[in-house]
Amino acid sequence: MLLPPALLPALVGGFVVTFAVLPASRETFPYAAAVVALVTALAIPLLLWASGSVLWSRAPMRMPRLLLAIPWGGLVLFVLRAFNDRSLLTSATTDWRLGRSAEVGALLLLCTYLPAIVWGRDESPRFSRTRFAAFALLTLIAGIETIRIAPLPTIDVWTIQNAGATALEHFQNPYTTVTQADTGNLGDLTVPYVYPPTHAILSLLGDLLGGDVRFTMLLAILIAGLCLRDITRRSGWPLPSFVLDAPVLLFWLTPKLFFILEQGWIDPIQLALFALSINAHLARRPMLTAALLGLTVSSKQSMIWLIPMGAVMLQFGARQWLVAAATGAAAAIPFALLDFTALRHAVIDFELSLPPRPDAITVNVWAARAYHIAIPGAVGTGLAALVTVLSSWFLRRRGVAGLGIAAAATYLVFFAFNKWAFANYYFLVVGLCATAAATAFHAMPARASVQSAPEDKIRASGT
- Within a domain: 447: yes
Q: Report CA-CA distances (Å) from 39 to 20, 43, 80, 363.
A: 7, 6, 22, 11
pLDDT score recorded for residue 28? 41
Burial 104-133 (b: 16+ CB within 10 A, else e): ebbbebbeebeebbeebeebebeebeebbe
pLDDT score recorded for residue 460? 38
What domain range includes position 338?
2-457
Helix (H, G, I), strand (E, B) or coil at 94: coil
Residues 34, 217: Cα–Cα separation, whole Å: 30
- Within a domain: 229: yes
Length of the chain: 463
- Within a domain: 462: no
Residues 110, 87: Cα–Cα separation, whole Å: 24
Q: What is the pTM of this model?
A: 0.90
Please check whether residue 8 is in contact with residue 73, taking contact to mean a CB–CB distance below 8 angstroms: no
Instruction: Identify the bridge partners of residue 62 per DSSP, sorted by sequence position.
Output: 2
Please check whether residue 389 is in contact with residue 41, taking contact to mean a CB–CB distance below 8 angstroms: no
Helix (H, G, I), strand (E, B) or coil at 445: coil
- Within a domain: 255: yes
- Within a domain: 174: yes
pLDDT score recorded for residue 356? 82
Number of domains in the chain: 1
End-to-end CA distance of the chain: give it in Å, rounded: 6
pLDDT score recorded for residue 30? 45
Helix (H, G, I), strand (E, B) or coil at 92: coil
- Within a domain: 63: yes
How many other C-beta atoms can be found within 10 angstroms of the C-beta atom of residue 95?
Answer: 11
pLDDT score recorded for residue 67? 85
**Cα–Cα–Cα angle for 298, 435, 122, nearest 5°?**
150
- Within a domain: 95: yes
Q: Report CA-CA distances (Å) from 77 to 20, 56, 437.
A: 13, 34, 19
Helix (H, G, I), strand (E, B) or coil at 256: coil
What is the DSSP code (8-state) at residue 172?
Answer: -
| Helices 241-252, 423-439: crossing angle, 10 deg rounding | 170
- Tens-digit pLDDT string for the chain (463 aa): 677 777 888 898 899 888 877 765 444 444 555 555 555 555 555 555 554 544 444 555 666 677 889 999 999 999 999 998 888 898 999 999 999 999 999 999 999 999 999 888 888 999 999 999 999 999 999 999 999 999 999 899 999 999 999 999 999 999 999 998 876 666 678 899 999 999 999 999 999 999 999 999 999 999 999 999 999 999 887 888 999 999 999 999 999 999 999 999 999 999 999 999 999 999 999 999 999 999 999 999 999 999 988 888 898 999 999 999 999 999 999 999 999 999 999 999 998 888 888 778 888 887 887 788 888 888 889 989 998 998 888 887 788 988 998 999 899 989 988 888 888 999 999 999 999 999 998 876 655 433 444 444 433 333 3
pLDDT score recorded for residue 449? 39
Rounded-to-10 torsion of CA 229, 150, 169, 346: -80
pLDDT score recorded for residue 236? 81
- Within a domain: 463: no
pLDDT score recorded for residue 186? 62
Please check whether residue 2 is in contact with residue 462, taking contact to mean a CB–CB distance below 8 angstroms: yes
